[in-house]
Amino acid sequence: MSNRVALQATQFIDLPSRERSLGYRAWDDEAQTYDNSFESIQPDPLDFLRQVLETGDAVFEDMIDFLRMNQTGMSINGDWHNWRQIEPVITNFYDAAAARGE
């Protein structure tokens, strides 16, 4: 099964007001999601992934679940990050959530 997951930091521009907001877009072969409510974007890709994990919706969680089940990497801001690079961030996030009872 091939399902490449991509995560992109994004500056949104509302038309016609030209109001700007920050957030992310995430997509794979099955779905897409976004959030434009960030105050700032973490410049480091793995810190950015951590930031999105903290705010991501059910669609993003499904994408992460796919990565976990298949131990595959993802594109973050156009650069490929293999499973060994992203696994500690994802595992730490889920371990912390489990410790909090979430």
Do residues 23 and 38 lie in contact, with contact meaning Cβ atoms separated by under 8 Å?
A: yes
Parallel/antiparallel/unpaired status of strands 32-38 and 74-76: unpaired
Residues 35-90 pLDDT 10s: 999 999 999 999 999 999 999 899 999 999 999 999 999 999 999 999 999 999 99
Do residues 33 and 59 lie in contact, with contact meaning Cβ atoms separated by under 8 Å?
A: yes
Q: Indicate the pTM of the whole model.
A: 0.93
Sheet architecture: strand order including 20-27: 32-38, 20-27, 6-13, 74-76, 79-81
Q: How many percent of the chain have pLDDT more than 70? A: 98
**Does residue 1 have a pLDDT over 90?**
no
User: Using N-to-C axis directions, what is the helix angle for 83-99 and 45-55, rounded to 10°?
Assistant: 40
Q: Which helix (H) or strand (E) holds 60?
A: helix 58-70
